[in-house]
Amino acid sequence: MMMRFLAAAAAVMLAAPAQADWQTEQREGYARASYAQGDYEVWISCRPGRGFELSLLDRTLSGRDFQGVQSLMMWVKLPDGRTDRWPVEVMQEGPSMSGRLVVSDFNLEFFRNAASFELDSPQTRQMFLSGNANGTGAARLAFLERCEL
């Protein structure tokens, strides 16, 4: 059942045009920011009392580039060049991996003001995503409204 859902979701995402900015979704007790580029999509989500999670989906559904990946590193860069890093220990589940993201007010304000970001694996040196940070201000506001730090 879950694999059918993932296959259907991936088919819809593959048919959609590539996303250039962070997209935010929120509803009662939940907020999520996502960014898609090429074969990958990253989500940062939160729920009150459960904290934050970072998830990475291989939209080809192969997961082949995830072999040997035990953690991800999110690099968040400000316009002046300062960089914040967010390490995430991940577990792979088929074509996706996810893990708890430990963030503070400082990290989230950095994210809100960011110019760009990169997401890679320290173990395999695989770069999964790299792009602009347009839309991270809206994501920060959604996280403030829906989640507790």
Neighbour-count burial of 116, counting CB atoms closer than 10 A to its CB (0-12 exposed, 13-18 middle, 19+ buried): middle
Residue 52 has pLDDT above 90, yes or no: yes
- This prediction has a pTM of 0.82
Residue 49: pLDDT band with limits 50, 70, 90: confident
The residue among 64 and 33 whose pLDDT is bigger is 33
Percent of the chain scoring above 70 in pLDDT: 85
Percent of the chain scoring above 90 in pLDDT: 70
**Nearest in space to 95 (alpha carbons), one of 45, 59, 126:** 59
The total of structural domains in the chain comes to: 1
User: What CATH code is carried by the domain that includes residue 125?
Assistant: 2.60.40
Residues 6-27 have a mean pLDDT of: 62
d(CA 7, CA 104): 34
Side chain identity at 141, as an amino acid letter? L
Residue 141 has pLDDT above 60, yes or no: yes
pLDDT for 28 equals 87
Domain range enclosing 20 = 2-146
Residue 15 has pLDDT above 60, yes or no: no
What confidence tens digit (pLDDT) does each residue in 99-110 have? 999 988 899 999
Sheet containing 71-77: order of strands: 83-89, 71-77, 116-120, 127-132
